[in-house]
Amino acid sequence: MNGWIILDKPVGLGSTQAVGAVKRVCREAGLGKVKVGHGGTLDPLASGVLPIALGEATKLCGRMLDASKIYDFTVQFGTETAGLDVEGEVVATSDVRPAAADIAAVLPRFTGPIEQVPPAYSAIKIDGKRAYDLARRGEEVEMKARCVTIHALDLHAAPDGPLASATLTAHVSKGTYIRSLARDIARAVGSVGHVTMLRRVKAGPFDLSQAISLDKLNAFGQGAAQSEIILPLEAGLVDIPALNLSPEAAGAIRQGRVWTGESTYDGLYWGRDSEMRPVALIEALAGTLKVVRGFNL
């Protein structure tokens, strides 16, 4: 069993719990023990696209973690919380409620490469301990700024006048904290704020159109068709070009050997055999093909 289940994760469910649910459903469907992993943690308070890899697709989880993501999120102005979301005590207040034009005016400051201070309530390790564990114990947590990239940042349509809240869409690089982005936008307009809604609408090549609900996932365990639930392994490779391999080249690549004499542009490919089965992620350089990650299919 090799491929992807794209879950529309509901609020309240952790990523590890989602992986556990997939393992359970696979057992119920009679698939036996299946290797399962997720392609990017999604906080319990967030919903949306959670790619879950099965079998050989788990070899692509690292690549999925590095992929850019798109989020819709709502910032409520006037209160900043310790967790920068709906959990945690209020740590700052403001009477300022910005207009849509005020928000739009500051967004260019947060587009492109920026430096961002992660939330204290995050999984980042400080001296070997998770920051959120230290913060929950009331310890002072000093978070260091990190460089991230905001590829695009757009404000949803909003009424005229002061806004109690605003919804935005952000296309961001790995390592970006939307809660920090919301905090910094609120401060830039002279207020404070926290996130009240966070929904991931795209992760790497996967979006909500491919995502299934928990109910549909559970239906798989009760006999629903596999084709309605599981996407093929190559669905996680659509953002890189495919390279058709000769039987000789495919055989060499499967054995992990370097293949020479291939006429193609330099770069990353996924190689496929004559039956269109993925063989490996391949790096092409000066006519030489080298295995980056092989698939046992």
DSSP assignment letter at 55: G
For 226, counting Cβ atoms within 10 Å of its Cβ (0-12 exposed, 13-18 middle, 19+ buried), the class is: exposed
Give the CA-trace dihedral at 16, 231, 205, 54, to 10 degrees: 40
CB atoms within 10 A of CB 184: 18
Tell me how far apart the alpha carbons of residues 117 and 38 are, in angstroms, rounded to a whole number. Answer: 25
The residues pairing with 278 across neighbouring beta strands, listed in sequence order, are 272
Beta-carbon contacts of residue 105 (< 8 Å; ≥ 6 apart): none
Q: Tell which residue, 275, 206, 230, 213, has the closest CA to residue 63.
A: 206
Q: Where are the alpha helices (DSSP H) in the chain?
A: 15-28, 61-66, 100-106, 131-136, 178-188, 214-221, 247-254
Q: 263 phi and psi, to 5 degrees? A: -95, 95
Angle 148-154-156 from CA coordinates, rounded to 5°: 140
Select which of 8, 43, 72, 184 is catalytic. 43
Q: How far apart are the first and last CA of the chain?
A: 10
Q: Tell me if residue 43 is catalytic.
A: yes
- By annotation, the residues acting in catalysis are 43
